[in-house]
Amino acid sequence: MEQAGELLRITSKAGLESHLLNWETDPVNTPIGYVLSLEGADSLVSMKHLERAWESGLRALGPAHYGEGVYAFGTDSEGPLGPKGRDLLTEMMRLGIILDVTHLCDQSLSEALEFYDGPLWASHNNCRKFVPHNRQFSDEQIKRLIERDAVICAALDAWMLVPGWVRGVSEPATAGAILERVADNIDNVCQLAGDSLHAGIGSDLDGAFGREQSPADIDTIADLQKIPGILRNRGYSASDISNILSGNLIRFLQKALPGGVLSD
């Protein structure tokens, strides 16, 4: 898709600025810009491999996915970072790689926040307040992330939106998994922050499931455009909605990406 001119990898501040200018002036002919991220670091068998990945454009990294990993413990597990995890975070700080805290278990998340002092975000994570599962963040964890100027991006996987979901049995409409529940998670982050500057949309609609595990009012990815109306009905201003849809993540990347000088 890159070779066809449909995708453009963003690796630097200068590259982001150039892409944003093209997006604003000629959106029809501008490819989709993306930042390369890795979910789960087990494939990085050494710190040299991490450096090689950075040179190839990797700009964000989540140390763990599900279970016990080489560098951290992820969803449905519990444990510390350990020496390898701290080595990974040290090298990420040196290279300037964004830490994606999504999927980190409680202990690994707490240790990562203490150890890592670089930019961090949660690319697709919801609130434990609504679905009491270790995959979700507690309000206290969300507050810690807000204090670190993170952006927490809501996921649309149905089991993360409504409690009691049973995979392969529950159905979105009857379970109440709708976009309003996505808005609940966005709103909770905003209420904890006291502003709209730390919430975003992560979606997680990456092909691991289909409509059977997506909000009932989602037919195609274009239906994400229903979210602004839902937020507007909840009293969110145009500027708040703009922050949540893209502004927060754009500003985050303008600070976090390496290289280049942003113009006024």
**Least trusted range by pLDDT, from 10-14, 65-69, 192-196, 202-206:** 202-206
Q: Mean pLDDT, the chain, as a whole number?
A: 96
Q: 91 with 51: CB under 8 angstroms?
A: yes
Domain ranges for the chain, please list them.
Answer: 1-34, 37-118, 120-264
196 phi, psi to nearest 5 deg: -105, 20
Average pLDDT over every residue of 73-95? 97
**Per-residue pLDDT reduced to its tens digit, 138-165:** 999 999 999 999 999 999 999 999 999 9
> Is the predicted pLDDT of residue 169 greater than 70, yes or no?
yes
Whole-angstrom distance, CA of residue 33 vs CA of residue 10:
6
Q: What pLDDT does residue 262 have?
A: 39
Percent of the residues in the chain that have a pLDDT greater than 90, as a whole number? 96
The SS3 of residue 40 is: coil
**In 3D, which of 140, 139, 79 has the Cα closest to residue 104?**
79
Q: What pLDDT does residue 106 have?
A: 98
Q: What pLDDT does residue 260 have?
A: 54
pLDDT grade, residue 264 (50/70/90)?
Answer: very low
Enter the pTM of the model: 0.95
Task: Give the number of C-alpha atoms closer than 13 A to the C-alpha of residue 206, restricted to the C-beta side.
Answer: 7
The SS3 of residue 252 is: helix
Average pLDDT over every residue of 177-182? 98
Average pLDDT over every residue of 170-182? 98
Average pLDDT over every residue of 18-25? 97
The SS3 of residue 68 is: strand
Whole-angstrom distance, CA of residue 14 vs CA of residue 7:
17
Q: Report the first-to-last Cα separation within the chain, whole angstroms.
A: 32
The separation between CA 50 and the C-alpha centre of its own chain, rounded to angstroms, equals 20
**Per-residue pLDDT reduced to its tens digit, 204-259:** 998 789 999 999 999 999 999 999 999 999 999 999 999 999 999 999 999 999 98
| CATH class label, 120-264 | alpha beta
DSSP state of 56: T
**Per-residue pLDDT reduced to its tens digit, 96-141:** 999 999 999 999 999 999 999 999 999 999 999 999 999 999 999 9
DSSP state of 62: E
